[in-house]
Structure 1
């Protein structure tokens, strides 16, 4: 393996380790409260829109995109929440093939404290970054995402 390839491989591994660490600290938090991390992320999508405002629901497609869930995982979570009576599925007036997933009063009551605590902890963590650190993080992560997209486009 060429030196630059090995160096890049190490960079990728370091990035993945940092990303995994972010999720690994959130997983026990979710489990201690009776959820998987994927369920908790789905609940965040149901409680808040992409701008952090209270949400009136979202489609499964939006949930998948915003919370980086697979379609299968999101589908299973929505089905489970529906069986518990935590969500209802309303027809999307803009696309009759889609359903808008909305929390019921029971679902909101059962999940709001956990979701609020989760979001508060993430807000506190991000709030620990200076404006410049946050700006650099977003620039770097955006650039990396663009490069990964470029590297994998047409790879299939």
Structure 2
């Protein structure tokens, strides 16, 4: 089993993403799953520099630029100048994003309900607790590595 863990986690992520994409595309929102992800992230984190949005989503700058272009054209996001660096653009949601965001949130919950089918509450809580601990461990390792590199270069 331990040898299969990476595969299972990667496959679970792929299957969840594919299910969500099918639901988004079937809903006729006029959004791709990637664009929906941008809206969800902006709703969670608030206005953010476009390049940081790309980094947080794990996407290329060009991909996020294309998503934001289409979302801006649809009136769901806007770009503004960063007051601390006029070369940088800050992306934020518009009020028109509220309805599509509610739909996307509903589709995300539907995806989780499908994935969770047949898993009792105790097992689900344990899974979430373990997944959050794993994420925390990986974030701490990344920060530790970054701090080590800064110390080594001084």
Range into which the TM-score falls when normalised by the shorter chain: 0.5 to 0.7
In the TM superposition, residue 64 of structure 1 has moved relative to its aligned partner by: 1.7
Which residue matches 1:38? 34
Q: Note the alpha carbon deviations across 1:29-81, whole angstroms, 9 max, x for none.
A: 111233221111001122221xxxxx3x2221232233332222111011112
In the TM superposition, residue 99 of structure 1 has moved relative to its aligned partner by: 1.1
In the TM superposition, residue 24 of structure 1 has moved relative to its aligned partner by: 1.4
Which residue matches 2:19? 25
Q: Which deviates the most, 81-90 or 135-144?
A: 135-144
RMSD: 3.0
Contact 1:26–1:37 at 8 Å: present in 2 too? Answer: yes
Q: How many residues align?
A: 132
Q: Which runs of 4+ in 1 moved over 6 A?
A: 122-126
Pick 1 or 2: higher relative contact order, CA cutoff 8 A, min separation 6.
Answer: 2
List runs of 5+ in structure 2 lacking aligned partners: 146-154
CA distance in 2, matches of 1:20, 1:59: 27
List runs of 5+ in structure 1 lacking aligned partners: 1-6, 50-54, 151-156
Give the TM-score normalised by structure 2: 0.66
Q: Note the alpha carbon deviations across 1:2-22, whole angstroms, 9 max, x for none.
A: xxxxx84x5433332222112
Which residue matches 1:98? 88
SS at match of 1:35: coil
Q: 1:111 aligns with which of 100, 113, 122?
A: 100
Q: 1:48 aligns with which of 44, 50, 60?
A: 44
In the TM superposition, residue 92 of structure 1 has moved relative to its aligned partner by: 0.9
